[in-house]
Chain A
Amino acid sequence: MTSLLRREFLLRALAACGTVAYASAGPRGAEAAGAVPGAARSISAGYFGDQVDAVRVIGEAHLRQLGVEAGDASIRSAARTTLAMIERARDQPRAIRALEQAVRQDFERGRTVQVEGWILSKTEADLCALSLLEDDLSR
């Protein structure tokens, strides 16, 4: 992927990360996607309103910064806390609400990462990384 395309994707993803407080309704993709609980990649897509390509770019950048190979096992390991949160939720809407709360708490408690300059919550960045999973069944 060219750097220009990467940047475009990254920016789209950042836009997709967006904000919580100014959003009045739940994520568009969440209910509609009808994702199977525990399917991390689907949850990620739902959380970010199906901005999948852009989200993947952030995920890649995040993993690069962590020095982690983009393989399923290593992604699951790097994002295990976020993955566990998703797995604890009974369905996708609950998972997304939990993620929203976690993102807010990340910012409040200083659990942030800087991805290509942008200050993101650790949970968000993990979620972006989970969008890179080849095997969508989290375990």
Chain B
Amino acid sequence: MQIDARTLEQGTTIEADVCIAGAGAAGMTIALDLLGSGLSVVLLESGGPARDDQNDALSEGRMTGIDTWDLRRMRIRALGGTTGHWNGWCRPLMRQDFEQHDHIPYSGWPLKYADVVPWFRKACRTLEIGEFQWDADERARATGKRLLPVSDIIEQRYYQFSPPTRFASKYGPVLAQASDVRVLTFANVVDVRLDDSRRRVDGFLCRTLTGTTFRVHAGRYVLALGGVENARVLLASRSQQREGVANGHDVVGRYFMEHPHYYRAIGGVHPSALDLGFYRRGESDWRRPDGSAVQMLGALGLAAEVSRRERLLNFSATFQAPGTAPSTPAPVVEDRLPPAAAQALVTRGRGGYETTLLTVRAEQSPMPDSRITLTAEVDALGMPRVALDWRIAPEDDVQMRRAMVLLARELGAKGLVRLRVPGDATRFVWRQDPGGHHMGATRMGRDPKVSVVDVNCRTHEVQNLYISGASVFTTGGDSNPTLTVVAFAHRLANTLRSERRQERSTG
């Protein structure tokens, strides 16, 4: 059932077993998984069926750190959330991304990669990609494409591409027709109200842009509002506690991470004969039920043991397809081989050469000072706007340079590609663009002093409050987050169902 919250009577209270705030990839996934569970669900969405400026304006915020893309444009406040303009890049966080590393402060998830694999598999189906199978050798064999003949220093990787799945059109109708789900559009959470114990949520206070105020009272509450808004709502819910909700240790909003994207940062020269087919976006061997091919794109990273030994952050490098116009502004590579030099052959006088550019998508270290805070400005609902102070540790640039030099040495040793690494002899220097991946501001961990949610995505401080989305990431790896976000949403839905079963069995 779908209800326009603007039509509710002022002061209405809606009862449900589970209230999910946010109908994007995470929130819709949870709602879908709870169908038939016996739990009544209310799914709140800030926008309506389509994007509109008035709603998007609610996301405006100030950038006080590294300049990132406009928050207002980056997130979509409408059914389906940001899947409405997502490009479909899928790769899971990797095994090593979940581990604790001495050289990455605050690293180490409270669960292992293997614990998430069943949910990753399910997420692959939700996002309409191929199997949860990431062995590049196997994929190359299956597609008849060739991997670069590099040593095991390099880890060959690939992305899969979702069609991309637009959750509003794909799953919206299912939820709208469900008898046990009520989808409330134009409904914004403006305050998380706690009970007298301050250990449980008593209700979400909600408001529409037309001035209707109502309350949702539920047994369990999930915030699935996006990586910035999850933190914003917790910080802004200070009607009962000055620090906000679930923020007794001043962690909410901290450890904000992005994936620094170094677009076309690495110059390369290679023989024309080099086969880069695996590293160009193209069809995989997987087919969807409608017959369409799942697309894939090969990438290069360092093997986990090399990253560990050399104390490096994770990254993946992709080759720019020839003839593609840059969609994102980036610095110009000054030393691209000009056509006039084409007679000088890359193979020392034997055969032709080509130039290429590599884009690097990188991990960043979590930092407490990279954070979201509230400003004195308010939006049309009276909610404080955020200041986003995205920071990257200087050590990350040092690690990135070492990583790129290792990549260059391996490609040089095998006579494949010569690389030009920007920066000086100590640091990688290139413009750090965001990926629109807002991670870490309500991070997962065992220690409430440095994390907001536990291994089950439940807040340490508030027993019936859960968080879903990339804001729970302890570390971000370099993989695009959507597949992992959806995997954790499936897992959280399973937790909610299990808790329901447990309650029933104990009467």
Contact = CB atoms under 8 A, between A and B. Distances in A.
B504 interface: no
B415 interface: yes
A67 interface: no
A74 interface: no
* Chain B CB within 10 A, most for which of A7, A11, A19, A114: A19
Contact of B418 (A8, A18, A29, A48): A18
B274 A48 contact: no
A29 B425 CA distance: 34
B416 interface: yes
A21 B334 CA distance: 27
A50 B335 CA distance: 21
A17 B268 CA distance: 13
Interface string B396-433: 00000000010011101111111111100100000000
Given A17-B418, A19-B418, A54-B344, A119 B351 contact: no
A64 interface: no
Interface in B312-336: 334-336
A22 B416 contact: yes
A1 B186 CA distance: 66
B416 A19 contact: yes
A115 to B, nearest CB: 10
A110 B306 CA distance: 14
A11 B346 contact: no
* Chain A CB within 10 A, most for which of B335, B336, B349, B414: B349
Contacts of B414: 21
Given A25-B350, A49-B350, A116-B335, A16 B345 contact: yes
Contact of B344 (A13, A110, A120): A13
Contacts of A120: 412, 418
Interface in B412-463: 412-422, 425
Given A104-B415, A112-B412, A22 B347 contact: yes
Interface string B174-186: 0000000000000
A16 B405 CA distance: 20
A19 B341 contact: no
Nearest to B267: A117
B415 A48 contact: no
Interface in A103-123: 104, 107-108, 110, 112, 114, 116-121
Contacts of A110: 409
A11 B335 CA distance: 7
B340 interface: yes
Contacts of B24: none
Nearest to A111: B409
A15 B267 contact: no
A20 B349 contact: no
B273 A12 contact: no
A49 B340 CA distance: 17
Interface in B131-168: 149
B341 A28 contact: no
A23 B344 contact: no
B415 A15 contact: no
B353 interface: yes
A23 B337 contact: no
Interface in B264-281: 267, 269-271, 273-274
A104 B416 CA distance: 11
Please report whether the interface of chain B is mostly helix, strand, loop or mixed according to DSSP. loop
A98 to B, nearest CB: 15
Please report whether the interface of chain A is mostly helix, strand, loop or mixed according to DSSP. mixed
B338 A11 contact: yes
A119 B420 contact: yes
B235 to A, nearest CB: 43
Contacts of B412: 19, 107, 112, 119-121
A63 interface: no
* Chain B CB within 10 A, most for which of A20, A24, A118: A118
A8 B267 CA distance: 15
A105 B34 CA distance: 58
B409 A108 contact: yes
B351 A14 contact: no
B309 interface: no
A17 B348 CA distance: 6
Contact of A24 (B269, B334, B350, B410): B350
Interface in B248-305: 267, 269-271, 273-274
Contacts of A16: 344-346, 348-349
B335 A15 contact: no
A118 B419 contact: yes
B270 A19 contact: yes
A23 B419 contact: no
B131 to A, nearest CB: 33
Interface of B: 149, 267, 269-271, 273-274, 334-338, 340-341, 343-351, 353, 405, 408-410, 412-422, 425
Given A18-B353, A119-B409, 10 more contacts: A7-B334, A8-B340, A19-B346, A19-B417, A21-B415, A23-B415, A49-B345, A54-B344, A104-B413, A107-B409
23 contacts: A12-B341, A14-B418, A15-B345, A16-B344, A16-B345, A16-B348, A16-B349, A18-B269, A18-B345, A18-B418, A19-B270, A19-B418, A21-B415, A22-B273, A23-B350, A49-B348, A54-B341, A112-B405, A117-B335, A117-B420, A118-B335, A119-B412, A119-B418
